[in-house]
Copies of this chain bind each other. A is one copy, B any other.
Amino acid sequence: MVKRRMKLMLGVGALAGLLIGTTGTSFAQEIDPAIAEMGVVTDTMWLLLTAFLVFFMQAGFALIEAGSTRSKNMINIMFKNLIDFCIAALVFWMIGWGFAYGASAGGFIGTDQFFIGDMREAGSVPTLASWLFQVVFAGTAATIVSGAMAERTRFSAYLIYSVVISLIIYPVVVHWVWSGAGWLNDYDPATTGDFGFTDFAGSTIVHSVGGWAALIGAWLLGPRMGRFGPDGKPREIPGHSAALATLGVFTLWLGWYGFNPGSQLAFKSQGDADAIALVAVTTTLAAAAGAVSAMIASWIKTGKPELGVTLNGVLAGLVAITAGCAYMRPIDAVIVGLVAGPLYLISTGWMESLKIDDPVGAVPVHLVNGVWGTLAVGLFATIPGNTGTVGLFAGGGAQLLIAQIVGVLAIGAWCAVTSFILFFSIKRTIGLRVSAEEEELGLDIGEHGAVAYPDIHKMPEPEMIRAATGKPVTGTAK
């Protein structure tokens, strides 16, 4: 049976039965409740520890975006990456969790469990532990957009976006697939009406959701000044610190060991141990393969191995394996990663030909490879004991692949439409973009009244700032 990412609400009896089921030597009613309780302990411990790792991905995203952009915008960039998680936490506590996991209204949206309290139930993983694991995923979906819209977006516009994605765009997608009651549910042959869309840890549900919003946002925002020449040809705007960008990738990779292995949502049985070990290994191999294939691709294309491409190759591999990490053999993971690296590079070219400026490559990494990884489940999945969920190349038919395509399209449509409404509304009201003067001077001065590296860029004289931005000079660096 394909695991569902629903709230863990098994009673003691079910838990004991599960333990029995994997060892097969006695009846459920003979199991000592203390053993069942120990299962709650290890499940909860795993969920919390992996949530902590996923939380730290926020730092990874901040570092990559920081390293890939210019020092004059560093305060703005670090600020966005911090505050979007803070907003996500509050909004997802108030409303988002309820939309995702509350009682379902027609499989489309949840309707209760708002302002979640401390609900305790014997024999169950605490609901608050599940909330913590889910909120760090919501924060990930939210922060993906930041990089694509870097160096030119109004700070207040970004705050509004952060509220809306955590409030409704992301939670609805979660409800569709991971709530256990959504219309686009995981495949389960024993359940009539399930659709069959399968996404273990969120290639589509997290990364593509962020990626669609990033695409729409970057498109409506327009490219940074100077990103495309008068002849329309793309010009690189190098980031200000290769060290920070690389540290960001290491940090994200570490966090992915929470993201994917934690998505088992349980760690109390031999079956959990086997599944989680597989997930950790496929995650590792896909990341490594993505790096190597991206490096080689960049070497072939430009004559030199490029670091930026290779860093994004790691992330492309990680995003791509996320949907199928529990359903593939190690060798499949290597294939998924080997495709992901060059696919990143190719889709970067698509973005440039569309004149969309994505400073960190968020769309090629999270959207394009999120789609690739989701489709790869339909190609390679081999789920022990589940003959209904087997990919095309693994001896199954096209059923699963079709389900994956439908899921990608449905979620893509939801995200593209809602993101368009969101960003277009902002653009027509308070405005999405800072003035050309502010962009030139740096958002740190215009939006936050300070400079990030006073050793490198001195704070300009107040008169100059006022002349350039039309704003009063305030803030820390008076």
Q: Which residues of A contact B (CB under 8 A)?
A: 12, 19-20, 22-23, 25-26, 31-42, 44-46, 48-49, 51-53, 55-56, 58-59, 62-63, 66, 70-71, 74-75, 78-79, 81-83, 85-87, 89-90, 93, 115-118, 120, 122-123, 125-129, 131-132, 135, 155, 235-236, 238-247, 249-251, 253-254, 257, 261, 267-270, 272-274, 276-278, 280-281, 284-285, 287-289, 291-292, 295, 302-311, 314, 329-331, 334, 444, 447-457, 459, 472, 474-478
Contact = CB atoms under 8 A, between A and B. Distances in A.
Nearest to A447: B304
A56 B250 contact: yes
Contact of A302 (B241, B285, B449): B449
26 contacts: A23-B34, A35-B35, A41-B273, A44-B273, A45-B273, A48-B277, A51-B280, A55-B254, A56-B250, A62-B247, A78-B242, A90-B292, A93-B334, A116-B330, A117-B329, A126-B274, A128-B280, A128-B281, A129-B277, A131-B281, A132-B277, A132-B281, A241-B453, A242-B444, A302-B449, A303-B449
Given A37-B19, A38-B42, A303-B472, A329 B118 contact: yes
Contacts of A273: 40-41, 44-45, 125-126, 129
A261 B52 CA distance: 11
Given A123-B270, A155-B305, A310-B83, A454 B334 contact: no
A36 B357 CA distance: 55
B56 A37 contact: no
Given A117-B329, A126-B278, A238-B451, A85 B288 contact: yes
Contacts of A48: 257, 261, 276-277, 280
A243 B452 contact: yes
Given A303-B474, A453-B241, A477-B236, A32 B35 contact: yes
Contacts of A277: 44, 48, 126-129, 132
B86 A292 contact: yes
A444 B241 CA distance: 12
A238 B477 contact: yes
A114 to B, nearest CB: 11
A441 to B, nearest CB: 14
Given A87-B292, A241-B452, A241-B453, 10 more contacts: A12-B23, A23-B34, A44-B273, A71-B455, A78-B243, A128-B280, A135-B284, A240-B455, A304-B448, A304-B449
A59 B303 contact: no
A278 B22 contact: no
Nearest to A20: B34
A246 B450 CA distance: 15
Contacts of A477: 236, 238
A287 B63 contact: no
A450 B330 contact: no
Given A41-B42, A78-B307, A251 B291 contact: no
Contact of A75 (B34, B82, B307, B334): B307
